[in-house]
Amino acid sequence: MKNVAENPIGSSFNSSSFNSTLDKRFGNPVMITLRYFAQLRETLHCSEETLQWQDDINTVAALKKQLSQRTSDKPNHPHNHSYNVQWQKAFNGNILCAVNQEIAQDNHPIQDNDEVAFFPPVTGG
Amino acid sequence: MMNKIDKQHSSLHIHNHIRIQENNFNVGDEHTALQQDAPSIGAIVTFTGLVREFTKGEDTQLFLEHYPAMTEKVLSNIINQATQRWDIISTRIIHRIGHLSLGEQIVFIGVNSPHRADAFAAATFIMDFLKTGAPFWKKEITPTGEVWVDAKDSDTSAKNQWLNNTEKTL
Report the domain count for chain B: 1
Please indicate, yes or no, if residue B114 is contained in any of the structural domains.
Answer: yes
Quote the domain boundaries for residue B133. Answer: 15-162
Comparing CB atoms, the residue among B69, B73, B131 nearest residue A124 is: B131
Please indicate, yes or no, if residue B3 is contained in any of the structural domains.
Answer: no
Q: Which residues of A touch B106 (CB under 8 A)?
A: 125
> Which pLDDT score is estimated for A54?
87
Strands (E) across A15-122 are located at 31-36, 48-52, 96-99, 102-103, 115-119
Give the whole-angstrom CA distance, residue A87 versus residue A71. 8
Please indicate, yes or no, if residue B63 is contained in any of the structural domains.
Answer: yes
Domain boundaries, chain A: 2-114
- In order of A44, A65, A115, B112, the CA distances from A57 in angstroms are 19, 9, 13, 46
Q: How far is A35 from chain B (nearest CA, A)?
A: 9
> Which pLDDT score is estimated for B20?
98
Among A47-51, A121-125, B12-16, B46-50, the least confident range: B12-16
B139 has a chain A CB within 8 A of its CB: yes
pLDDT in tens, B52-84: 876 666 688 999 999 999 999 999 999 999 999
Q: What is the CATH number of the domain that holds B128?
A: 3.90.1170.40
Please indicate, yes or no, if residue B119 is contained in any of the structural domains.
Answer: yes
The verdict on a CB contact (< 8 Å) between A120 and B151 is yes
Among A39-53, A111-125, B55-69, the least confident range: B55-69
Please indicate, yes or no, if residue B170 is contained in any of the structural domains.
Answer: no
The pTM score is 0.83
DSSP letter at B139? E
Please indicate, yes or no, if residue B112 is contained in any of the structural domains.
Answer: yes
pLDDT in tens, B98-137: 999 999 999 999 999 999 999 999 999 999 999 999 999 9
ipTM of the complex: 0.85
**pLDDT > 70: percent of chain A:** 78
> Which pLDDT score is estimated for B53?
75
> Which pLDDT score is estimated for A76?
75
- In order of A87, A111, B95, the CA distances from A30 in angstroms are 23, 9, 36
What chain A residue is nearest to B146 in terms of C-alpha separation?
Answer: A39
What chain B residue is nearest to A123 in terms of C-alpha separation?
Answer: B137
